[in-house]
Amino acid sequence: MIVDNVPINFLLMNMLSATGTVFKIFFLTIIMSIPLGFVVALARGSRFKIITVPTRIYQLVFRGTPLMLQLYFFMYAPYYILDFTFNRFTACIIAFVVNYAAYFGEIFRGGIASIPKGQYEAAKVLGFSKFQTFMRIILPQVVKHVMPAVGNEFMTLVKDTSLAQVISVIEIFNVASNATSRYFSTVPLIVAGIFYLVMNTVVELAFKWAEKKLDYYRS
């Protein structure tokens, strides 16, 4: 089928292939950045400035500069600094992970701070250790509180995968841009937009389902 000189079947096959890269970026980023985000959140809550100050600087740098710039940095800076180069996909994942961990760290820090101090004191009276208090009482409530913000970051991540094209990682937007130039048509961009919309619709539905499952944690 041809629409506006664009062979749609061929375009869809290329985009479906590129979707695999989008999924890899998405899931690898989530798997690594969420645990790192918890570490960042706990480091921000430390009593020791030797831990909190570098953590604040890290968050300021990676939340205060464009992800596109960070992609360029991890792709090209190691060569000039260490005479070493990451492959394009590895540089992409590193940039996404450290960027999103900085954001998740702030989200989790806010979730932990939202829990009343009285709950820690009550757990101590009941004989819970600090680890038991956090895992059994605090963490489930934190997850409930941060779910909307985390869901928003997940949806942003789906869209941000399009930035991987700046270091020539072949994903959906890269395929759409090349097809637009080749066929002088905006149809590939519209199709790419539909792909992103479908993926984010799935993310939104998944988080609505998760929020309902956690609805018994009310504060």
Q: Which residues pair with 6 in a beta bridge?
A: 3
> pLDDT band at residue 119, thresholds of 50, 70 and 90?
confident
Mean residue pLDDT of the chain comes to: 90
Q: Indicate if the pLDDT at residue 8 is higher than 90.
A: no
Strand spans (E) along 29-82: none
pLDDT confidence of 101, banded at 50, 70, 90? very high
Considering the entire predicted model, what is its pTM? 0.90
Distances (CA, A) of 178 to 3, 16, 42, 172, 204: 16, 15, 43, 10, 29
Q: Is the pLDDT of residue 23 over 70?
A: yes
User: Is the domain defined by 20-168 classed in CATH 3.40.640.10?
Assistant: no
Inform me whether the pLDDT recorded for 39 exceeds 80: yes
Q: Which of 124-128, 174-178, 193-197, 210-214 has the highest mean pLDDT?
A: 193-197
Q: For position 2, what pLDDT does the model report? A: 66
**pLDDT at residue 126, rounded to an integer:** 81
- Counting residues of the chain whose pLDDT is more than 70, the rounded percentage is 95
* Token pair of 85 as six digits: 């180069």
Cα-based torsion angle of the residue sequence 13, 15, 17, 21 in order, rounded to the nearest 10 degrees: 180
Domain extents for the chain?
20-168
Q: Which residue has the higher pLDDT, 121 or 59?
A: 59
What does the pLDDT average to over 120-137? Answer: 84
